[in-house]
Amino acid sequence: MASLSLSTSTPTAAGSTTPQTYSSSFTTTISPLLFLSKTSKKCALKSLKHKVLSCNAENSSSLNNLDRRNVLLGLGGLAGAVNLTSSSVPSVLAAPLAAPDISKCGTSPLSGFKPGGTTPTGGDCCPPDSTQIMDFKFPTNQAFKVRPAAHLLSPKYIAKFNEAIKRMKELPEDDPRNFLQQAHIHCAYCNGAYTQSSSGFPDIEIQIHNSWLFFPFHRWYLYFYERIMGSLIDDPTFALPFWNWDTPAGMTIPKYFNDPKSALFDSKRNQANLKAVVDLGYNGKDSGTSDIEKVKNNLAIMYRQMVTNATDPTAFFGGEYRAGVEPITGGGSVEQSPHTPVHRWVGDPRETNGENLGNFYSAGRDTLFYCHHSNVDRMWSLWKMLGGKHTDITDPDWLNASFVFYDENKNLVRVYVKDCLLTNQLGYDYQRVDVPWLKSKPVPRAPRSGIAKKLVGKVKKTDDVTFPVKLDKIVKVLVPRPKKSRSKKEKQEKEELLIIQGITYDSEKYVKFDVYVNDEDDDEASAPDQTEFAGSFAQLPHKHKGKTSSKTNFRAGLTELLEELEADDDDSVLVTVVPRSGSEDITIDAIKIIYA
């Protein structure tokens, strides 16, 4: 990977431009098209000109995929599939996860809070019921929105944002657009209130984290949130700001969030972090490093997670998750970090469960959540512009997975993943800002071939380890490489991946561990801006009914890393797994290297 750039424009170096402020009519001052590929540019131009948003750009072929399940079962669309019982679903056929039947929404453990109240009361987080579900249609005549960087907002824009949230908070408790009702959405989809009953599996919960549904679910969630805000302040151009934590100037909580008089204020945040530089690799406590170090580490983490560990769709989006199973294949690179550490870093340690942002059930009760996720969503757009294998998933079970949300007119709308792949089709894009982490590749601490060989006899090989191993202390192991010294072509075709399989963890804790490769130093692990740091596994606490542990996998890209560490000709690599938070109960089934 020689030099990295986004497909149509090379971002300028960090800090080289004067920050601009934008009013809500800033579509004239910045072009939302700068970041788009040629096809989507054409599409966006057409959209802007004709005010239609129906053109398909680069994903048209995948959009034309037939719903395999409907074909096989001869059903008339997913609406028909909704009535299937588990016995009528042949087990050999996987199927897309269908939108939950909200009338069957149940009490979620730890969900409870009354709209208007601030303390969990043990209630539930179900939305108001509705007998009518509309299928999503791309709106015609929609104003194009450009989501601005939250730290660059004009006072006028901040006032609008504040007003929109204030009005959401003032809506009646049972209005689905009400602020806490909107927060409930996150709780219901992530904390055991919904089951897969519409897919025929009433005993299996829906969990939209930790799998390939993470990005599309949150994109749709924000999409409707934004429309509700715009409609409440009567400004269809109003776009949800993104918390630009991937650039130095954006690495603190935008200060207007700290004004107690503002609707954007939330008292349940870590008081030590209100003005601090965010830690994208947060271990559950302050790292003690200087701000300069933090910024450097943050940029390196961004590079690691967006580039090295996101070489293909599975790595970026996360593993598959279909009807009839739980999401156990593993979350995507960005979901684990920085997404999860940022949640936990903002959440209030004075609260039992790290409320608000530090726990799934309560995260949506802090407005900062939506700006955080706006930036997470922006990562999806940026990642696709990096080229290579950076494309959306084409599996029909991903494309046809569905969710339901209330829109700005209180209509319950069913949406499909396949309709959210292009933001310009949904009528929005992101303000163009610098992407400094593209040039923040970690540097090797001690590149040396033969490290693993030298340690034979001192460190166990995976074959000699009795799995599962406990992660109550640092685990060091020599992992054999089935292939070495691969050709350039082989490397282009397949990435060398470090896989940590069958990670069983306590899902009610903030869990994090870091993974290092060929890091010999016992006293001090490498920092994130050093090549030896391969990535992090991180999970936000959440409760399921009747169980407290979850199982999943972790993967990290090794191809570039081993080249830089001059270890590409080695037979094995030294892997160090360092527990950082909540790891006492973690067990690991296997550690290995594969090519995919």
Binding residues for Cu cation: 186, 209, 218, 339, 343, 373
Question: How many helices (DSSP H) and strands (DSSP E) are in the chain?
Answer: 17, 15
Is 343 one of the annotated active-site residues of the chain?
yes
The structure tokens 């999943």 sit at 552
State how far the Cα of 220 lies from the Cα of 224, in Å rounded to an integer.
Answer: 6
Q: Which residue in the list 35, 224, 317, 360 is annotated as catalytic?
A: 360
CB of 203 to ligand C2O, least distance (A): 23
State how far the Cα of 88 lies from the Cα of 91, in Å rounded to an integer.
Answer: 9
- Record the tokens describing residue 101, joined without a space: 């039947």
CB of 316 to ligand C2O, least distance (A): 16
Q: Which residue in the list 184, 218, 542, 544 is annotated as catalytic?
A: 218
Maximum alpha-carbon separation in the chain: 70
The single-letter code of the amino acid at 340 is T
* C-alpha 187: how far from chain center: 16
Phi-psi region of 591 (alpha: psi -120 to 50; beta: other; left: phi over 0): beta
Residue 444's CB is within 10 A of a number of other CB atoms, namely 16
The smaller minimum CB distance to ligand C2O, of residues 339 and 390, is found at 339
Q: Is-contact 130 100, C-beta < 8 A?
A: no
The smaller minimum CB distance to ligand C2O, of residues 142 and 336, is found at 336
* C-alpha 536: how far from chain center: 14
CB of 363 to ligand C2O, least distance (A): 6
The smaller minimum CB distance to ligand C2O, of residues 215 and 505, is found at 215
CB of 384 to ligand C2O, least distance (A): 20
CB of 360 to ligand C2O, least distance (A): 6
Q: Which residue in the list 209, 372, 390, 544 is annotated as catalytic?
A: 209
Residue 459's CB is within 10 A of a number of other CB atoms, namely 18
1-40: b (≥16 Cβ within 10 Å) or e:
eeebebeeeebeebeeeeeeebebebbeebebbebbbeeb
Q: For residue 460, which of 591, 357, 270, 585 has the smallest C-alpha distance? A: 591
The smaller minimum CB distance to ligand C2O, of residues 188 and 438, is found at 188
Is 373 one of the annotated active-site residues of the chain?
yes
Q: Which residue in the list 151, 184, 343, 390 is annotated as catalytic?
A: 343
Is 339 one of the annotated active-site residues of the chain?
yes
Q: Is-contact 160 235, C-beta < 8 A?
A: yes
62-72: b (≥16 Cβ within 10 Å) or e:
bbeeebbbbee
Phi-psi region of 408 (alpha: psi -120 to 50; beta: other; left: phi over 0): alpha
CA dist 302 to 308, 441, 461, Å? 10, 9, 31
The smaller minimum CB distance to ligand C2O, of residues 190 and 465, is found at 190
CB of 1 to ligand C2O, least distance (A): 28
Binding residues (CB under 6 A) for ligand C2O: these are 186, 190, 209, 218, 339, 343, 363, 373
The smaller minimum CB distance to ligand C2O, of residues 363 and 497, is found at 363
Beta bridge mates, 506: 549
Q: Which residue in the list 151, 184, 339, 372 is annotated as catalytic?
A: 339
By three-state DSSP, how is residue 39 classified? helix
CB of 544 to ligand C2O, least distance (A): 15
Q: For residue 87, which of 204, 203, 200 has the smallest C-alpha distance? A: 200
Beta bridge mates, 113: 120
DSSP state of 301: H
Angle, alpha carbons 559-565-570 (nearest 5°)? 75
Phi-psi region of 150 (alpha: psi -120 to 50; beta: other; left: phi over 0): alpha
Those residues with Cβ within 8 angstroms of residue 66's Cβ, 6 or more apart along the chain or in another chain? 396
State how far the Cα of 447 lies from the Cα of 464, in Å rounded to an integer.
Answer: 27
The smaller minimum CB distance to ligand C2O, of residues 22 and 113, is found at 113
The smaller minimum CB distance to ligand C2O, of residues 209 and 296, is found at 209
CB of 480 to ligand C2O, least distance (A): 36
Residue 48's CB is within 10 A of a number of other CB atoms, namely 15
CB of 517 to ligand C2O, least distance (A): 28
Active site residues: 186, 209, 218, 339, 343, 360, 373
